Amino acid sequence: MDIWQIIGRWFNRPEVRSKEVARERLRLILVHDRANVSPELLEHLKQDLLAVISRYMEVEEQGLEVALDSSEEMVALVASIPIRRVKRSAKVAPV
In sequence order, the 6+-apart residues with CB closer than 8 A to the CB of 58 are 83, 84, 85, 87
In sequence order, the 6+-apart residues with CB closer than 8 A to the CB of 5 are 15
| Confidence category of residue 9, pLDDT binned at 50, 70, 90 | low
How many domains in the chain? 1
In sequence order, the 6+-apart residues with CB closer than 8 A to the CB of 52 are none
How much is the pLDDT for 3? Answer: 63
- Tell whether 68 is covered by a domain: yes
- Tell whether 20 is covered by a domain: no
Helices then strands, each counted (H, E), the chain: 3, 4
- Tell whether 60 is covered by a domain: yes
- Tell whether 65 is covered by a domain: yes
Q: Which domain holds residue 66?
A: 37-86
- Tell whether 92 is covered by a domain: no
- Tell whether 14 is covered by a domain: no
Q: What is the pLDDT of the chain when averaged over all its residues?
A: 77
- Tell whether 13 is covered by a domain: no
User: Is this prediction's pTM over 0.85?
Assistant: no
